[in-house]
Chains A and B, each alone.
Chain A
C-alpha cells in the first residue's frame, strides 16, 4: 500500500467522530438515492407492465397503398382519390406469410392475428355495446395470458362458442353455457354459447370484449381471409419504436404502429417523473459533495502541521494533495457502500410496511445492483472531485510556515 494511502487511512481513522459523521451523512444521502431510485423504477415498471404486459407492443395493420407521406403529397388531389378506396381497405390481406416471418423474428415473443368488429349484446330489451375479437386462442393466449385470466370454462372456442369478460357476465347475469343473442354489424343477429369467462385485469376489457374463433369472426364480419391486425409482443418493450422502424424497412405494404406512440402521454409522464427523481438525486449528490468538501477543508487546516512535516521530509506537493484526494475517495466509497446497504434495508422495510398495511405489497420493488453500483461510482467520483479544493490547499502549504510554529 502506497504511503499516501497509509497517511490518508490514518488521518481518517484518527478523526474518529468527524469521519463517522461524514460517513453517516454520505450513507444517508446515498440511502435516499437508492430508495428513491428503487421506488420510482418499481413504480414505473409496474405502470409499464400494466400498460403493455398484456397488450400488443407492435401492431401490423393493412396499408391501403398510400403511406403517410404520399397521402400528404396527394392532399391537393384529395377529391380525385377519395372515392378510390374504402374503409375496409386497411385490412391485412395475405397475412399468413407475414405471421410466419414474424414468428421467426427472435425479438418477437407473441404474434397474434385479430379480427375486430362492434356489436351489441341483446338481453331483456337492453342492448349493450360489445367488441367482437376473433382470435387464434393459442396465439392470443401468449399475448393476453388468457389461460391465467380465465375464471371459468376453457380456451377451446369451437363453433358458436365465445368467451366474455367477468364484468359483462356479472352485469347481465350470464353464466357458463348460457346462450346469448348478439347483434352483429349489418343488423344480423347471432346466438353464441358462453364457453369461458375471463378477467384480464382491465374493466373496459372485462365489460366489452367478446372473444371468438378467428375464422368464425372473419365469416361473420365478411372479411374473407383478411384480418384487421396482427398484434405482437416483443422482448424489450422499450425498443418497440426502434424495432418498428426496422420492421417498416423489412415489410412493405403494411402499416406498423407501436405502443410507445399510442401511450405517448404515459411515457412523457413517466419521463417527467424520472426527471424529477434525477433532480433530487443530483441535489443529494451536491449535498454529499459539499459535505465532504467542507469536512476535508477543515481537515487540511487541522492536519497542516502534519502536512508541513511530511513536506519538510520530502513529500512532494502532488503527493500531499493526493493524501486528501484519497481521503475524499475513501469517504465517498465507504459512505456510499454503507448507503446502498441502508437503502436496501429501507426498501425492504418499506415493502414490509406496505405489506403490513395493505395485506400485499403495493407493487414489486426490485433492488437493482447495477444502478446501485452506478450510484456508488458517481458518489465516489464526486467525493474525489470535492476533495480537489482541500487537496490544492494541501499542495500549496509551505512547510516553513508550519515548522516556524
Chain B
C-alpha cells in the first residue's frame, strides 16, 4: 500500500477487494487488493494477461461490484450504492476510455462528446456545447467536429473518447488499454494528450497498459500478478534505468547499454 504523504486526501481507495467469477467453477480474478489513488495522479497498471487488470479497473470505475471488500471515493463508500446511484456516480465522477473507442456510431464527434452531459442533465446547453468544442479542439479534432463517429480514424475516435471522458469534469479517468490498437505514433500522441490534460486539469488517470513506454513514463506503476499487487511504486523515486529494467519485457532488459539511451527512449 502506498500513500503520497500523510494527511493528503485520498481520491479513490480500495479495501481488501476480491473478485471471484463463476459459481461452479470459481476463478479468483482479484485476491484482496488495497490501493489508494490521489487527486491528479497519473498511474499505470501493468501485468500479464489475465492478471486481473480489467477486473480491477471495472471495480474502481463502479462498473462492477467486488465479491468482497469496499471501494471508497472521497470518503464515500461506492460499494454501498445501489445500481441507480452507481450509474449517477459514474456519470459525475468517472471518465472512461476503452480500448475499442466505443463511440456511438449514430452520432457525430461533437454529439458523442456531449452524451455524458445529456445523461447528466437530460438536456444540453450552449455552454456545454461550447465546452465540447473546446475539448475537441484540445484533442486536435477541431476540423472533425461534425463527422459521424464512423467517419473517423481509430486514433481520431480515441481522441474523441478522451474528450468525451472529460466533458463532465470527472476527478479521475480510467483507461483500459487506450492505445491498445493504435500504431506507435498515435499511441505517443494519445499519451501526450492524456499527460497534458493531467497537468492542465489535474485530472487523475489510471491507465491499464501493455505499453512499456507509457508505463515507464507514468508517475506511478502498479504491477499485478494473479490477482494480487506485485509491485507499486512511484517512478520518481527510482532511476529511469531502474524503472526501465522493471517494466521492460525480459528480452529487452539489456537492449540499452547506457542510461542515456534509456532516457532517450523514455522521453
**Which residues of A line the B interface, CB within 8 A?**
1-3, 6-7, 10-11, 13-14, 305-306, 308-319, 399-400, 403-405
Contacts of A13 in B (CB 8 A): 106
Let me know if B98 and A314 touch, CB within 8 A: no
Taken together as a complex, chains A and B put the C-alpha atoms of A316 and B83 apart, in Å, by 8
Which of B30-38, B115-123, B209-217, B249-257 contacts the other chain?
B115-123
Check B87 for interface membership: any CB of A closer than 8 A: yes
Let me know if B107 and A314 touch, CB within 8 A: no
Contacts of B205 in A (CB 8 A): none
Check B58 for interface membership: any CB of A closer than 8 A: yes
Taken together as a complex, chains A and B put the C-alpha atoms of A67 and B267 apart, in Å, by 112
Task: Say which residue of A1, A308, A314, A400 sits within 8 Å of B90 (CB atoms).
Answer: A314
Decide yes or no: A403 and B118 within 8 Å by CB, A313-B91, A314-B88 being known contacts: no
Let me know if A2 and B123 touch, CB within 8 A: yes
For the complex with contacts A13-B106, A405-B100, 5 further pairs of A-B residues with Cβ separation under 8 Å are A312-B61, A312-B63, A312-B102, A313-B91, A313-B164
Contacts of B122 in A (CB 8 A): 2-3
Taken together as a complex, chains A and B put the C-alpha atoms of A310 and B122 apart, in Å, by 13
Contacts of A305 in B (CB 8 A): 102
Let me know if B123 and A399 touch, CB within 8 A: no
Check B169 for interface membership: any CB of A closer than 8 A: no
Taken together as a complex, chains A and B put the C-alpha atoms of A399 and B122 apart, in Å, by 20
Check B240 for interface membership: any CB of A closer than 8 A: no
Taken together as a complex, chains A and B put the C-alpha atoms of A13 and B108 apart, in Å, by 14
Q: 10 closest Cβ contacts across the A-B interface? A: A314-B91, A3-B118, A14-B106, A314-B90, A10-B106, A316-B87, A309-B102, A314-B119, A314-B87, A306-B104
Let me know if A316 and B106 touch, CB within 8 A: no
Check B26 for interface membership: any CB of A closer than 8 A: no
Taken together as a complex, chains A and B put the C-alpha atoms of A400 and B92 apart, in Å, by 19
Contacts of A313 in B (CB 8 A): 90-91, 96, 115-116, 119, 164
Taken together as a complex, chains A and B put the C-alpha atoms of A315 and B91 apart, in Å, by 8
Closest residue of B by beta carbon distance from A319: B119
Let me know if A306 and B92 touch, CB within 8 A: no
Taken together as a complex, chains A and B put the C-alpha atoms of A405 and B181 apart, in Å, by 13
B120 CB to nearest chain A CB (Å): 7
Taken together as a complex, chains A and B put the C-alpha atoms of A2 and B118 apart, in Å, by 8
Taken together as a complex, chains A and B put the C-alpha atoms of A313 and B103 apart, in Å, by 11
**Can you sample 14 A-B contacts with CB below 8 Å?**
A2-B122, A10-B107, A306-B104, A306-B106, A308-B102, A309-B102, A310-B104, A312-B63, A313-B115, A316-B88, A317-B83, A317-B84, A399-B63, A405-B100
Most buried by B among A3, A313, A316: A313
Let me know if B116 and A314 touch, CB within 8 A: yes
Contacts of B115 in A (CB 8 A): 3, 310, 313
Let me know if A312 and B96 touch, CB within 8 A: yes
Contacts of A2 in B (CB 8 A): 122-123
Check B99 for interface membership: any CB of A closer than 8 A: yes
Taken together as a complex, chains A and B put the C-alpha atoms of A1 and B104 apart, in Å, by 19
Check B235 for interface membership: any CB of A closer than 8 A: no
Q: For chain B, give the interface size range.
A: 20 to 34
B22 CB to nearest chain A CB (Å): 15
Task: Say which residue of B87, B102, B106, B107 sits within 8 Å of A315 (CB atoms).
Answer: B87
Taken together as a complex, chains A and B put the C-alpha atoms of A312 and B87 apart, in Å, by 7
Contacts of A403 in B (CB 8 A): 58, 63, 98, 102, 176
A17 CB to nearest chain B CB (Å): 15
A11 CB to nearest chain B CB (Å): 6
Decide yes or no: A404 and B54 within 8 Å by CB, A305-B102, A313-B91 being known contacts: yes
Check B241 for interface membership: any CB of A closer than 8 A: no
Check B219 for interface membership: any CB of A closer than 8 A: no
Let me know if B90 and A3 touch, CB within 8 A: no
Contacts of B63 in A (CB 8 A): 312, 399-400, 403
A216 CB to nearest chain B CB (Å): 83
Check B64 for interface membership: any CB of A closer than 8 A: yes
Taken together as a complex, chains A and B put the C-alpha atoms of A311 and B105 apart, in Å, by 16
Most buried by B among A308, A400, A403: A403
Taken together as a complex, chains A and B put the C-alpha atoms of A388 and B48 apart, in Å, by 43
Contacts of A312 in B (CB 8 A): 61, 63, 90, 96, 98, 102
Taken together as a complex, chains A and B put the C-alpha atoms of A133 and B102 apart, in Å, by 88
Decide yes or no: A400 and B64 within 8 Å by CB, A10-B106, A314-B91, A316-B88 being known contacts: yes
Contacts of B104 in A (CB 8 A): 306, 309-310
Contacts of A309 in B (CB 8 A): 102-104
Closest residue of B by beta carbon distance from A313: B116
Closest residue of B by beta carbon distance from A15: B106
Taken together as a complex, chains A and B put the C-alpha atoms of A403 and B57 apart, in Å, by 12
Contacts of B116 in A (CB 8 A): 313-314
Contact with A along B150-171 (1 / 0, CB 8 A): 0000000000000010000000
A310 CB to nearest chain B CB (Å): 7
Closest residue of B by beta carbon distance from A402: B102
A331 CB to nearest chain B CB (Å): 16
Task: Say which residue of B54, B90, B92, B106 sits within 8 Å of A11 (CB atoms).
Answer: B106
Closest residue of A by beta carbon distance from B58: A400
Task: Say which residue of A6, A306, A405 sits within 8 Å of B118 (CB atoms).
Answer: A6
Contact with A along B76-93 (1 / 0, CB 8 A): 000000011001111110
Task: Say which residue of A306, A308, A311 sits within 8 Å of B87 (CB atoms).
Answer: A311
Let me know if A405 and B123 touch, CB within 8 A: no
Contacts of B105 in A (CB 8 A): 14, 306
Contacts of A306 in B (CB 8 A): 104-106
Closest residue of B by beta carbon distance from A404: B54
Decide yes or no: A314 and B120 within 8 Å by CB, A400-B58, A400-B64 being known contacts: yes
Taken together as a complex, chains A and B put the C-alpha atoms of A13 and B123 apart, in Å, by 20
Let me know if A3 and B119 touch, CB within 8 A: yes
